[in-house]
Structure 1
C-alpha cells in the first residue's frame, strides 16, 4: 500500500479456479518425483494463455527443471514468462530461470505463455521423465557457489572470487551474473569484470553448471560500487525507471529532494511522480501548498546549495525539483493526482472530463512552476470499483477521462496512469476499459504490490508483491504475472506497462510458522503505520529468511514480513525485460537506504 494514499490490490477472498486444467499429473511415490500440469486460463479466439505448474511431490529438493511437450502443427508459443522457452519444429522446451529452479519438497512454481492456434500439448516430459511423477532422472543439479567476494575495484573493473559449488558428477563451469544478467561463463572460481562505469552500483551473483548442463541455484549477491564518478548521470537506456516522491515526506520522514542527490538515486532514474495533487469538485488542485511551493530551504538542505529567500517567487518542493532538473537534465517530472485518499473525486471529474482536463493543465502549467512538470499522472483507485470509496461511473469513464487529458495536454506532455494489478477473473482490471484507454496514455504504472497484508489480520501470511502464483496463494490472479498477462490480453502493448516495486514490507504478528501460509493475530508494529515498514528498517530489524514467487519474506520472533530486496528486484527486472515491459516504477523513495540500494538494483536490472 502506498501508506495512507495507496490502495490494496484486493481485499476480498477470491476467486474462481483456473479453467481448462489438463490431467497430465498425478501423485507419485519416488523420493525425487515431480509433476507438471497444464492449464489454459484464458482464450480470446485468435490466441490463448497457457500455464504450466511444476510441483516437487518427492522428499528431496529439485535444483532445476525442464518441461518438454509437443504442439500440433499450427499451434505455437508467441511469448513466455518465468521460463526460457525454445522450440524445434513442433517440439517445445521450457527451462527454469536462474531464480526459480530450486523446488523444496512440496513446493511448486508456474510459468506461462501466450500462444497462437487451438491445439493442446501432448507427450509431456519433466526433466526427461514423465510428467505424472513416476520417473524423474536422479542426476542432481550442482549446489549454489559461495557468495562472491570483490577486490581490486577500480573506476571500470572489479575482481570477483567465490567458493566452488559441488555436484555428484562434477561442475563444468560457472555463469557470472551482473544484475541478474549473465556477463561471462568461466571454468575457474574467479572473474574480472571490465568496462564498468565509474561511481556506479552493481550486484553480482554466480551460478554453477554440471557436466549434464544442469544449472543450480544462484549464489548470494555481492554489491559493488566502482570508484570515481561525477554528478553527470550515466546512460539510462530506453527503459523507464520511475520513482514516487511524496509531498508529505518532508515532514515526519524528513525526506527531501536533495536526498535523491546524496543517495545517488537521481543519476539512476528517468522519471519522478510527485504525489499527490488533490481532486476536488471535479478539478485538479494542489494539496499541501506549503510543502509544494512555500517551504523555505536553507543552503545545506537545498539541491543547489543556495538558501531560499523570503521574497523569491517559488520555494518548497517545486523549486527543489527545478534545481534537481538543472543538475540532472535527463529527469522528467510528472504531477500525480489522486491516490488512495483523493480518488473519491474522480467520479465527479469523469462526469465532465473536458473541464477536469483543463483544470489539471492549469495547475501543471501555472506560470510559477510551468518548467518543473513534463506531464501528468492519474492515480484513480479505482474506476467503476471500490477503493477507499466505491465508484459507479461505469466501465467507459476511465477511457473518457484519459482521452480528455490527452486532447488537452497534447503530444508534447506525458500522460500516464497508475492502475490496479488485480489479475483475477472479474476483478478490478475487468471493471474498466483499460485496453481502450491505453491508446491515449504513454504508459501504465501497474501497482503490483499490496496483494496481501495484515488488513486480513488473521492471515494467512503471504507475500504482498508476488511476481508469480504459487501453491497455496490466498487468491488466484493476485500476482504480477497474471496482471501483466491480463493487460496484454486486453491489447495493452508490453512497452506501455511498468512493473511496480514496493520499497516497504507488509507484516503480521503472532506468527509461529516461518513459511508463508501461517496464521496471525494482527498487524506487526510499524514506524508510521501498523503492518507496514520501510525496507531500510526491515533489512536490519528482520532480515529475509526465504523467498517465494520471486520476492522475499522474513520471520523474526513472532513477526512475519514480506518485502523486496536487491536480489529479488534483480529477478523481477530480468522478468520485466523478458516480458518486453517499458520499465519499472516504485513506491516510494524514502523507503530506500541512504545510499539507494533498491534504486540501484532497479537501474542495474534494467
Structure 2
C-alpha cells in the first residue's frame, strides 16, 4: 500500500539540487545579440554580445562576449544588465557575478581583464527563468555601441526611517549624466528630486508599500529602475496576531534555489499577516543527533538590500548571520506574533529517528543545542519532529514499538522546557494502519500541537489510476481506500485520546495528477503521472489555477479535467469549507505544505486565515 505521506517534502529538496546540476551540463545553440557601448576612455571602444544557448523552459545557459573594437588595450571591464523578475543567474564561470535584486553585475577575473585591440573574452552562466537582458552597460556606458553616456540603475535602495505615515528612502547614485530621480510608489511616480534621499508622506498606518527609483537625464529619458523595496509602515494594528487558531506554513530550505522563493516573498505576498507559525524544513537526523541540512542556504547566503526583509544588505563581518536564518530573524522583528520552529526529518530524512531514539535524552539535547545555537539566537521558538513514521513504514521501515512516539515527545519536552515542541504525524486511518501503529495520544500530552498530514492519500504512484483527490475531507462512494480521508484521520486520533484542540488540519498547496485520462469524474483510468514542473504527477497550485482550473468538487476538495490530464487540489473555496469543518470539530487550526506553491498574492494562505477567523 502506498504511504499516505509522499513526495512533496524532502524529495523536492533533492529534485531542486538535481535541477541545479542539470542546468550546468545542458548546452544547445540559440543566439540573441545585445550590443554594448565602449568603456569610458575616449580612445577605447568595445562591444558585448549576449549569446543564449539551451533553453528548457525553466532554465537556460548563456554567455557574454566582450570584444575590444578600439585601438588601445582594455585593462579591466565591468558589465551590467537587468533581468526581468523571475529570471536569474544560478551559476557562472570566468567572471565575478553579483546581483542586487534584478540588476546583475559581472566583473573580469584576474586572467581575462586585459583585452588587446581586436581580441575578445567571454564568460558564461546558467540561469533560471526565461527573460532576456536589458538596460545593459559596459564600464558605465550605454548599450548601443556608440560610447554615448547612458544611465544606470540607482543601487542600494533602502529605508532608514519608518513611521505610521512616513517612509524615508535612501539610494546610491546612478551612473551616467543624471539630471534628477523619480520615486515611484507601487508603480506610480510620487516625487522628483535631485538628491539621493526622499521622505514619502501621507501614508496609511500598518500598510505595505513597494518603492522603486529611476534616474533621468537632461532630455527627460529614464534609465533602468532600481530593485524594488517593500516597506511596511508602523501602527494600524495590522501586525497583531491573526487569531486564536494556528495558521502554520512550511518554508523549505532548498526553495531559495530552483524555486527562487525567499523569506521576503512571505512579506510581499501579504502572507506574513496571516501566519501564526512557520516551520523551517528541514534539519537532518544523523548518528543520533540533529544536524543542519544545507548550511549555505541556512546561515551563509548573502542577501542584498533589495532581497532582504528589512531592506538592509547582509554583511561579510566575521560571525555575522546571513542566509534564511537572518531573514527569519528580520521577519520576526517585523511580525513579532509569528513563531518560527525548526523542523527535522521529513520524507527523506526520517531514517535516523529509530537509531536516535535508542538514547532519547542525548537525541533531544543535541537538537536543543542546535536549535538554540548562539549564532542564531532568537530565530527559533522550538522544534518540530517530522518522523515518517514511528513504528511503521515510510521511505524505510521502523519497528521501535508503539510507545516510541510518546518516549520521543517526553524527552524533547524535558530538553526544550517551555519552548514549542510539535510533530507532524500520519493521517493513515485505515484499519491497522499507521495511526494504530503508534501511541499518538501518549505523545500529545507533551506536544503543543500535532500537524496531521491530511494530503497525499492518492496519487499517480498508482499509474493506472483510479483517479482520486489526494486530499479528500470525507469519504465518498468509490474512494480507493477506506480510512484515507481527513475526517477519518481526525476521528481515529481523537478516539485514541488526542485532544482535538491539539490537532491541525493539513492543506496541500499543490495538486496531484494523472495523464491519459478521458473520464472527467474521479475514478477514471490513466496511463501514468501528469507532467509537472519539478516532478511528474505533482504541480503547484499557482500553476494549476491558471493551466487547469477546477471542473468539479468531491469530498470537500476540487478536481480538474483538462485535455487528457486529471488533477486534484484545494482552492480558496474548498479551503473555506475545510476551515469551517475544522472549527466545528474543535481543532486547533490548520497548516500547509508549503509556502512557495501559493500565488504571488498568497490566495490560499489568506483563505486559511479568513476561514479560521
Deviation string, structure 1 residues 136-190 (Cα, Å, up to 9, x no partner): xxxxxxxxxxxxxxxxxxxxxxxxxxxxxxxxxxxxxxxxxxxxxxxxxxxxxxx
Matches within 5 A, 1:160-199: none
- Provide the residue aligned with 2:186 in structure 1: none
1:604 pairs with 599, 603, 610, which one?
610
Which residue of 391, 414, 435 corresponds with 2:398? 391
Q: RMSD of the alignment, in Å?
A: 1.7
* Partners of 1:420 and 1:446 within 8 A in 2: yes
Comparing 290-299 with 393-402, which one deviates more in the overlay?
393-402
Cross-structure match for 2:372: 365
- For 1:2 and 1:480, the matched residues in 2 are separated by 18
Match of 1:338 among 318, 342, 345: 345
CA drift at 1:232: 3.2
Distance 2:359 2:284 in 1: 17
Distance in 1 between the 2:426 and 2:239 partners?
Answer: 32
* CA deviation after TM superposition for structure 1 residue 231, in Å: 8.6
2:539 alignment partner, SS class: strand
- Alpha-carbon distance in structure 2 between the residues aligned to 1:198 and 1:306: 20
Higher RCO, 1 vs 2 (CA within 8 Å, ≥6 residues apart): 1
Q: Give the conservation status (yes or no) of the 8 Å contact 1:231–1:267.
A: no
Q: Which residue of 2 aligns with 1:135?
A: none
Offset of residue 237 of structure 1: 1.4
Q: How far apart in 1 are the matches of 2:470 and 2:556? A: 11
Offset from partner CA, 1:424-472 (integer Å, 9 cap, x none): 1110000011111111111100000000000111100000000000000
SS at match of 2:361: helix
Work out which of the residue numbers 265, 269, 272 in structure 2 matches 1:263: 269
Residue among 266, 278, 285 paired with 2:284: 278
**Matched residue, 2:458:** 452
- CA shift in 2, pair 1:327/1:199, >3 Å: closer
Contact 2:515–2:566 (CA under 8 A) maintained in structure 1: yes
Matched, 1:324 2:322: no
TM-score (norm 1): 0.63
**1:349 and 2:361 correspond:** no
TM-score by length of 2: 0.62
Look up the match of 1:306. Answer: 312
Deviation digits for residues 162-220 of structure 1 (CA, Å, limit 9, x no counterpart): xxxxxxxxxxxxxxxxxxxxxxxxxxxxxxxxxxx9979xxxxxxxxxxxxxxxxxxxx
> SS at the partner of 1:351?
coil
Q: Shift in Å at residue 2 of structure 1?
A: 5.0
Return the alpha-carbon distance in structure 2 between the equivalents of residues 553 and 461 of structure 1.
10
Q: Report the Cα offset of residue 370 of structure 1.
A: 2.0
Equivalent position SS for 1:440? coil
Query: Matches of 1:230 and 1:546 in 2, distance apart?
Result: 40
- Find the aligned partners of 1:413 and 1:387 in 2 and give their Cα distance: 28
- Equivalent residues in 2 for 1:119-130, closer than 5 Å: none
Alignment match, 1:5:
10
Q: CA deviation at 1:398?
A: 1.4
Using the alignment, how far apart are the partners of 1:474 and 1:542 within structure 2? 24
Inter-CA distance 435–6: structure 2 relative to 1 (3 Å threshold):
farther
Report if aligned partners of 1:422, 1:477 keep a CA contact under 8 Å in 2: yes
Structure 1: how far apart are the matches of 2:320 and 2:593?
Answer: 30
The answer for the alignment partner of 1:429 in structure 2 is: 435
Counterpart position of 1:543 = 549
Q: Provide the secondary structure at the position in 2 that maps to 1:320.
A: helix
Distance 1:274 1:538, change over 3 A: same
Superposition map of 1:416-565 within 5 A: 416-565=422-571
Deviation for aligned residue 1:229: 9.4
Match for residue 232 of structure 1? 238
Distance 1:577 1:5 in 2: 30
**Cα pair distance change 1:408/1:234, threshold 3 Å:** closer
Counterparts in 2 of 1:266 and 1:2: CA distance versus 1, 3 Å: farther
Answer yes or no: is 1:566 the counterpart of 2:588: no
CA distance in 2, matches of 1:198, 1:511: 49
Structure-to-structure mapping, 1:393-412, within 5 angstroms: 393-410=400-417, 412=418
Answer with 1 or 2: which has the greater Rg: 2
4+ runs deviating over 3 angstroms = 197-200, 228-232
In the alignment, the residues of structure 2 paired with residue 457 and residue 524 of structure 1 have an alpha-carbon distance, to the nearest angstrom, of 10
Q: Is the 8 A contact 1:232 1:328 kept in 2?
A: no
SS of alignment partner, residue 568 of structure 1: helix
How far apart are the structure 1 equivalents of 2:255 and 2:334? 22
Distance (whole Å) between structure 2 residues aligned to residue 231 and residue 594 of structure 1 = 23
Report the equivalent of 2:322. 315
Provide the rounded CA distance (Å) in 2 between the counterparts of 1:230 and 1:274: 29
Is the Cα contact below 8 Å between 1:508 and 1:521 reproduced in 2? yes
Q: Does the C-alpha gap of structure 1 residues 520 and 599 become closer, same or farther in structure 2, counting only changes over 3 Å?
A: same
* CA distance, structure 1, for counterparts of residue 337 and residue 259 of structure 2: 27
Summarize the alignment of residues 80-91 of structure 1 with structure 2, pairs less than 5 Å apart: none
**1:316–1:472 Cα change, 3 Å:** same
Report deviation, 1:233: 2.1
Q: Distance in 1 between matches of 2:520 and 2:425?
A: 32
User: Which residue number in structure 2 is paired with residue 289 of structure 1?
Assistant: 295
- 1:377 corresponds to: 384
Structure 1's unaligned 5+ residue stretches are 8-196, 201-227
Displacement of 1:4 in angstroms is 4.7
Whole-angstrom distance in 1 between the partners of 2:268 and 2:582: 28
Please point out which of 577, 585, 595 is paired with 2:591: 585
What is the deviation of 1:399?
1.1
> What SS is found at the alignment partner of 1:444?
strand
3-state SS in 1 of match to 2:443:
helix
